Amino acid sequence: MKMSLLSRTSLAAGLAAALAAGTICSPPAHAQFGGIVYDPSNYAQNVMTAARSLEQINNQIQQLQNQATSLINEARNLASLPVSTIEMLQSQVDQTRQLLSEAQRIAYDVTDVRQVFSERYKGAALSAGQAQMVANANARWQDSVGAFEDAMKVQAGIVGNLGATRSSITTLVGASQSATGALQAAQAGNQLLALQTRQLADLTAALAAQGRAEALESARNAASEAEGRERFRRFRTRN
């Protein structure tokens, strides 16, 4: 059935009126589903906001992890070495000092040395009476024998420390290699230095004891020679 001219005219007039009233335009910006209004632009904005929030949270988590790692490393650097040989080293040094303090006849003391040498190694002691000269010679012999005995005791004590020294070196080197932080490595190094210092102290003690014995023996020989000359002088005077 063809539309009449009046009908076509009425439809055209209605469309024109609708266009004029703005009822026919672009698709709606949002739609409604079961009573819920859906706005695409608002949804996209919410998604972007959630993504940025998630990124910020991830960054904060990474920062916390970095801080935790830093604190763990600091704790390792501040951790003390679990082993210590200081007390043992001090004990060994004390033992060596004790041996030196037990020096017979002539102690490691400047005043004592001066007094003893004045009494039987020089001066009037070498020109005293016959009985006194014999007593002085015997005393000097005892000085020398005692000094050599003292030197041997010190040397024996030092040799006895070698086993403990080896054990300390093994312990400290192992601790240094397994150190988990700067403090532990430094403490291991310091204890190794302390061990070397103790060895140097032992060496000094051995040299001092040996040198004392050799010095007394040389002094005894010199005094005996001086007494020999005095006896010869007296013999010639009597004759």
What's the confidence (pLDDT) of residue 76?
67
Nearest to 95 by CA among 216, 205, 8, 221: 205
Structural domain boundaries in the chain: 31-78, 86-238
- What predicted TM-score, i.e. pTM, was given to this entire model? 0.63
Average pLDDT of the residues of the chain? 80
Distances (CA, A) of 132 to 3, 42, 51, 72, 127: 167, 123, 110, 79, 9
| Residue-by-residue pLDDT tens, the chain, 239 positions | 444 444 544 444 444 444 444 444 444 544 544 555 556 777 778 778 888 888 888 888 888 877 777 776 666 666 677 778 888 888 888 988 898 998 888 888 899 999 999 999 988 888 888 899 999 999 999 999 999 999 999 999 999 888 888 888 888 888 877 777 777 788 888 888 888 888 899 999 999 999 999 999 999 999 999 999 988 888 888 86
What's the confidence (pLDDT) of residue 171?
84
Q: What are phi and psi of 25, to 5 degrees?
A: -155, -160
